[in-house]
Structure 1
Amino acid sequence: MEQSKAKIKMFLSRFFKSRELQDEDDIFALGFVNSLFAMQLVMFLEKEFNIVMEPGDLDIDHFRTIKAIVNFVDSKADVNVS
């Protein structure tokens, strides 16, 4: 989980240079997200964590915060292992 969080924070830091995001910061509410960034985030998560996004996975609540993203990625990884 900590390794996942570190990778996600590193990815996000490339886009949010003027702010150090905290685990609970809502990146949508802060106005940092546009459709291009959302697609880049999804593609990064699929490639970096070897997961496949299903249509039902594209719920905004899975991507609002670093904590939510980590929990989502970990849950997808658990499904892939099963």
Structure 2
Amino acid sequence: MTTEQNTGNLTAESIEQALLSFLETRTKASVSPTQELFASGLVSSMFAMELVVHLEQNYGIAIVGSDLKTDNFRTVRMMTELVLRLRGASSAVGDA
């Protein structure tokens, strides 16, 4: 986990870049933020579960219930939005 992730100063850009790097390392292919990962064959259902674990562990979120739908994992941009939304929700809950 980076210092940025530890302090909670995450930006959409930093999350997106980290996810692109992770995916490119794991798939050995170039990935764009809006590339359809399932349609392109880069991500299988098994690898999607690895993505869930990766996001949960690296960003301190829990992806459960309706958030586990495929739409949230179709592109790097969608995963970035999911992380930001869930981190915002967890901050709001923690502040209450």
TM-score (norm 1): 0.91
- TM-superposed CA distance for 1:35, in Å, is 2.5
Q: Does 1:12 align with 2:52?
A: no
**What CA distance in whole angstroms lies between the structure 2 residues aligned with 1:69 and 1:53?**
11
Name the count of aligned residue pairs: 81
Identity of aligned residues (%): 30
- TM-superposed CA distance for 1:51, in Å, is 0.1
Q: Does 1:59 align with 2:48?
A: no
- TM-superposed CA distance for 1:54, in Å, is 1.2
- Normalized per residue, which structure has more helix? 2
When the two chains are superposed, the root-mean-square deviation of aligned CA atoms in Å is 1.0
**What CA distance in whole angstroms lies between the structure 2 residues aligned with 1:35 and 1:59?**
11
Q: Please tell me the residue identity of whatever aligns with 1:32.
A: L
**What CA distance in whole angstroms lies between the structure 1 residues aligned with 2:42 and 2:17?**
20
The residue aligned with 1:75 is 85
Which one of the candidate residues 16, 32, 37 is aligned to 1:27? 37
List alignment gaps of at least 5 residues for structure 1.
none
List alignment gaps of at least 5 residues for structure 2.
1-11
Structure 1 residue runs of 4 or more that deviate by more than 2 Å after TM superposition: none
Q: Please tell me the residue identity of whatever aligns with 2:44.
A: N
Partners of 2:20 and 2:32 within 8 A in 1: no
TM-score (norm 2): 0.78
